[in-house]
Chain A
Amino acid sequence: MSATLRVGKGAPYARIMGVGGYRPTRVVPNEEILKYIDSSDEWIRSRSGIVTRHWADEDETVAEMAIAASGKAIADAGITAEQVDAVVVSTVSHFLQTPSVATVIAHRLGAGTPAAFDISAACAGFGYGLTVGKGLIVDGSAEHVLVIGVERLSDLTDKEDRSTAFLFGDGAGAVVLGPAQEPSMGPTVWGSEGDKADVIAQTVPWDRFRVGDLEGLPVDAEGQVKFPALRQEGQTVFRWAVFEMAKVAQQALDAAGITAKDLDVFIPHQANMRIIDSMVKTLKLPEHVAVARDIETTGNTSAASIPLAMERMLATGQAKSGDTALVIGFGAGLVYAATVVTLP
């Protein structure tokens, strides 16, 4: 006989209560990238819109950057670390397989014993985290959820690959989700297209680095085995990101029951300025919509890019609390997640 189970008493809705970001101290201009690749500042700017990016120093680890961003998000939300019931971290550049970095971050924040885990959804990771967090709050498994996107992509950058050397940056962005009485997060339109798994990927799996199994690994000019890096098929990614993701973005608007006219802010994953510009055109966004262009000085920080851009837009007055924002992440998998949120 199956017993009748009591279900959790969740909040009617969830909302973003606060946001915080951390950008590494060291700013890396295009000139520095040009030491490694045969290119030009003009070429990099015209292909990507990137002028500078931040690269983390040794002590700016994934955990340390995430802790810094989270502290700000918790303060911005007006809660204490002890009130966090779950910590969800999206990253692809934390190089200790287990335990999850989420447990370390939770402990260091003084959050007590919250649920804590990492997710792997590349540049869509922040949207995946938002979706999981919202579900936990509405179903009663958590009252406050800390969602973090953090990357040290400089560690996964082949500095001799002229198509990607200039692209990636490091940083952390975090939001606190909490209960709401009004709808403040629309449904997520998300998915994966595993048939395109090789379009963006790590060059070599870690287990190829076992001693005695080094044959066939990529090597540098001196014949030294290279650390794995991210590589991508630029044109294929561009086409998918602009034209397929514009459809997903539109579906997220439809799912939330609004149109582009109702939007105040558009925060796409900061992959490439050309993708952002082309998406804005394809989506026919009205002039009044503020568009995140944080990539210019931050580079592509994968899961961290959306919360970092959100934090900067709020800090600089490009966006304000209560604004309606469309966020969309997309990346290796290929995976994607789009949703409409009310800004904290």
Chain B
Amino acid sequence: MAATKEEIIEGLAEIVNEIAGIPTEEVTVEKSFTDDLDVDSLSMVEVVVAAEERFSVKIPDDDVKGLKTVGDAVGYIFDHQS
């Protein structure tokens, strides 16, 4: 069953916490991965791969560049999950 936007935010927060050590409550839709959450370009790849597994979605490298904020990622995953 497809995840809701709330479930995706929750899941992403856990992933970002695991990879970058950011408290889950700080991972909110308006936050920028690089500027606010200390997720650099390589950590972003780890976040993306973990999100792909968790939400059964494919996020090609070209699309990763467009995911600036947590909200961008939530929207992308919500629209592309199978």
Bound-state CA distance A278–B42 (Å) is 10
Bound-state CA distance A243–B40 (Å) is 18
Contact with B along A220-237 (1 / 0, CB 8 A): 000000000000011110
Q: Are A235 and B49 in contact (CB under 8 A)?
A: no
Point out the residue from B40, B44, B46 that lies within 8 Å of A46, measured CB to CB. Answer: B40
Is B2 located at the chain interface by the 8 A CB criterion? no
Q: Are A235 and B40 in contact (CB under 8 A)?
A: no
Interface size class of B (residues with CB under 8 A): 10 to 19
The count of chain A contact residues (Cβ–Cβ below 8 Å) is 12
Q: Are B40 and A242 in contact (CB under 8 A)?
A: no
Is B64 located at the chain interface by the 8 A CB criterion? yes
Secondary structure of the B contact surface, majority rule = helix
Q: Are A239 and B40 in contact (CB under 8 A)?
A: no
Bound-state CA distance A36–B30 (Å) is 36
Bound-state CA distance A162–B44 (Å) is 19
Known: A243-B49, A278-B46. A234 touches B61 (CB 8 A): no
Is A274 located at the chain interface by the 8 A CB criterion? yes
Point out the residue from A46, A47, A238 that lies within 8 Å of B45, measured CB to CB. Answer: A238
Q: Are B42 and A47 in contact (CB under 8 A)?
A: yes
Query: Closest CB of chain A to B48's CB: distance in Å?
Result: 8
Task: Please indicate the chain B residues that have their CB under 8 angstroms from the CB of A274 in the complex.
Answer: 42
Q: Are B49 and A234 in contact (CB under 8 A)?
A: no
Query: Closest CB of chain A to B35's CB: distance in Å?
Result: 15
Task: Please indicate the chain B residues that have their CB under 8 angstroms from the CB of A233 in the complex.
Answer: 61
Secondary structure of the A contact surface, majority rule = helix
Is B56 located at the chain interface by the 8 A CB criterion? no
User: Which residue among B40, B46, B48, B64 has the maximum number of chain A CB atoms within 10 Å of its CB?
Assistant: B46
Q: Are B46 and A235 in contact (CB under 8 A)?
A: no
Task: Please indicate the chain A residues that have their CB under 8 angstroms from the CB of B42 in the complex.
Answer: 47, 234-235, 238, 274, 278
Task: Please indicate the chain A residues that have their CB under 8 angstroms from the CB of B82 in the complex.
Answer: none
Interface residues of B in 3-55 (CB under 8 A from A): 40-42, 44-46, 48-49
Task: Please indicate the chain B residues that have their CB under 8 angstroms from the CB of A47 in the complex.
Answer: 40, 42
Query: Closest CB of chain A to B45's CB: distance in Å?
Result: 5
Bound-state CA distance A235–B44 (Å) is 9
User: Which residue among B45, B49, B61, B64 has the maximum number of chain A CB atoms within 10 Å of its CB?
Assistant: B45
Q: Are B40 and A234 in contact (CB under 8 A)?
A: no
Point out the residue from A234, A242, A243, A278 that lies within 8 Å of B41, measured CB to CB. Answer: A234
Task: Please indicate the chain B residues that have their CB under 8 angstroms from the CB of A242 in the complex.
Answer: 45-46, 49
Task: Please indicate the chain B residues that have their CB under 8 angstroms from the CB of A278 in the complex.
Answer: 42, 46
Query: Closest CB of chain B to A280's CB: distance in Å?
Result: 13
Bound-state CA distance A233–B41 (Å) is 11
Task: Please indicate the chain A residues that have their CB under 8 angstroms from the CB of B41 in the complex.
Answer: 234-235
Query: Closest CB of chain A to B37's CB: distance in Å?
Result: 15
Bound-state CA distance A227–B49 (Å) is 36
| Nearest neighbor of A233 in chain B, beta-carbon distance | B61
Task: Please indicate the chain A residues that have their CB under 8 angstroms from the CB of B44 in the complex.
Answer: 235
Bound-state CA distance A242–B48 (Å) is 13
Bound-state CA distance A234–B64 (Å) is 13
Given A235-B41, A274-B42, 15 new contacts (CB under 8 A) = A47-B42, A233-B61, A234-B41, A235-B45, A235-B61, A235-B64, A236-B61, A238-B42, A238-B45, A239-B45, A239-B48, A239-B49, A239-B61, A242-B45, A243-B49
10 closest Cβ pairs, A-B complex: A239-B45, A236-B61, A274-B42, A238-B45, A238-B42, A235-B45, A243-B49, A235-B41, A235-B61, A278-B46
